[in-house]
Structures are given as structure tokens and as C-alpha cells.
Homo-oligomer: A and B are copies of this chain.
Amino acid sequence: MPGIRDVAAYAGVGIGTVSRALNKTGYVSKETREKIEEAVRVLGYQPNELARNLYRNKSGMIGVVVPDLENPFFAKFLKCTEIELYKYGYKAVVCNTVEISDRVKELIGLMNQNVLDGLIVGVDPPDDVELNQIRKPVVSLDRNWGDGIPVVTSDNEKGGRLVAEQIVESGCKSVLMFEGRTYIRQPFDNRGREVRRILEENNISIIRAEIEWNLLSYEYYMETVEKYLSIFDKVDAVYAGDLIAAACLVVAERKKIKVPEELKIIGYDGLDIAKLTSPMLTTVRQDIQLMSRYCVETLMKLLDGNESIPSLQICDVMLWKGGTM
């Protein structure tokens, strides 16, 4: 691997000149520039980015932390985020927190070690995280990490309202709600709260089913759904995330329960999988691409030292009418 010295020697100039020519910074005469370009071509020189990183004290890497890439929501989020980061010249370093605890703290450590220039987190903060340990930009998707950490989320209140309205309009009287366990207050809590508020207003009875949603496993979903649908066989509607909702559809089919005639199902997220069921899932679609764009844009502002950072950004959601409601 040739270094900048080799290029300088070949071109018969100093290394400083080579550096300036390559970075287009400072003056270099046309002739020397050409000699240098020639040398670069002949030697096949490629600057060692590691050395640049050391000098600039940045790595060009952003950590993207998600619970589980097997969840299509996060897969899509990562995809969009990677493409978005690419536009700004950054690379995305993935991290699944599932199966391994404390990965988040490790990643915060990597920031302090300058391996990562910033973090986009789609997971809960660790219990004992010291926010003042965090010295580089962090943006959060859908989680409260505390002061100074901007949050990008979707309009959970509207989402909850859309769900509830569908249920009310359909004339259902007893709803099974699958909800993830949350340990601290999260932006998406509003969703369930809004659903419950409106349903209660309309005297619709609610059965809450708590699910370990971080545990993405088909078997677990099926089992849980089967259990609840057996115990509470008088519910006439189910509300759940798309994956669970799809599982409900399968269980209903198996139990010869007609959807939507005997049981209505409304999902949440608007994943593609909602379109691969039959009937297609009625669901509230989150704009994952927009959320990832906001995350990246916000992070870039933070990296630029920009002062005007919105602490909360909310993306619109929309009802997607399938045939299950």
C-alpha cells in the first residue's frame, strides 16, 4: 500500500503539497497538480482514512441501535436510515440489542472512544445510564431518553384515535388490546391511552393483553394470541401491532372465526406484511421513511453544532383500509 510519501517522492514534491492537491485546499499550480495526479494513478494510491480520522477526530460512523432486525419495522427503519446517512457521507453501524444486554452502554462507550460519531437509538435507555456520560449527539426514535436527547416519533395520539374510531364505528362492544409492556413513559404510550379513552367514552369493554414485544418470535406470538382468543372468546374486535394482528388472523381462520364478520382486527404500523394477508389487514401506517429522515437530519444538525434542534418531531400517520375491519 503506497502512502502519501510515495506519491510525493514519485511526483518529486513534498507531502504537504500532495495533501493540499488531493484535498483541494490551498494553492497548487496546475503542473504540480497534474504530476501528483499522475503519481496517484500510477501508484494506485488511496488515502488511509484511519489517519484522517485520527487527525479530524471523527470516524464517519453512526451507530443505529434497534431491538431486533427481524421485526420488519426496524428492518425498514435501518434500511431507510442507512440510505439517509449515506447522503451525508456517514456509514451505519448496526446493533441488535436483543439477546445481548447492555449493548447500548457499550455503544455509548464506543462514542466516547471516537469509534462512533453519534447514535440513533430505537431502544429504551439502560436503567443506569448517566446522561452526562454521553458526549456526542444522540437522537431517539420513539423513546424518552431524557433532556437534551431529541425524539422523533409518529403521531401516536392520532394513531390511537384512528384505531378507536374504527372500532367505535364498526359497532364492536368488546375489544382485546395487545400492548407491549413499557417500564417508563414512552411517546407511544399515548397511542394506547387514546384508544382506551375513546373506547371507554363509548362504553366499549376492553381486555388488555400484555405482550413482550421485544421478543419477536413467531411461536410466541401464535401461542399468546391463541391463549387470549380462547379465554376471551366473546371479544368482537382485536387491536394489536401488525405482526400480532396477522397472527390473530391465522388463529381466527384456524378456529373458523370469520373475519371481519365475527371478529374485526385492526393492526398498527402499516408494514408490508399487512398486505400479504387475506383479507388484507386494516392498519394505521407509520411513515418509517420520514421518521428515519428526521432522525438523520436532526443528528446531522447536532453534529454541525446547530443550535435550533426541535426536541420532539412528530410524523403523521394514516389509516390504511384493508378488509379486517
Contact = CB atoms under 8 A, between A and B. Distances in A.
A96 B83 contact: yes
Interface stretch (A65-73, A139-147, A204-212, A299-307): A65-73
Nearest to A99: B83
A75 B70 contact: yes
Interface in A261-298: 272-273, 275-278, 280
A257 to B, nearest CB: 12
A76 B110 CA distance: 24
A100 B57 CA distance: 28
Given A277-B276, A278-B249, A278-B254, A114 B83 contact: no
Interface string A125-168: 00000000001000000000000000000000000000000000
A9 interface: no
A276 B70 CA distance: 14
Range class of the A interface residue count: 35 or more
Interface stretch (A46-54, A174-182, A194-202): A46-54
A70 to B, nearest CB: 6
Interface in A204-244: 218, 222, 243
A70 B72 CA distance: 7
A50 B53 contact: yes
15 contacts: A48-B54, A49-B114, A50-B54, A50-B57, A50-B114, A64-B94, A70-B72, A70-B79, A70-B272, A82-B94, A82-B96, A86-B100, A91-B93, A218-B272, A276-B276
8 tightest A-B CB contacts, nearest first? A75-B75, A69-B79, A253-B278, A49-B113, A246-B276, A46-B112, A250-B278, A218-B272
Interface of A: 1, 46-51, 53-54, 57, 59-61, 64, 68-70, 72, 75-76, 78-79, 82-83, 86, 91-96, 99-100, 109-110, 112-115, 135, 218, 222, 243, 246-247, 249-250, 253-254, 272-273, 275-278, 280
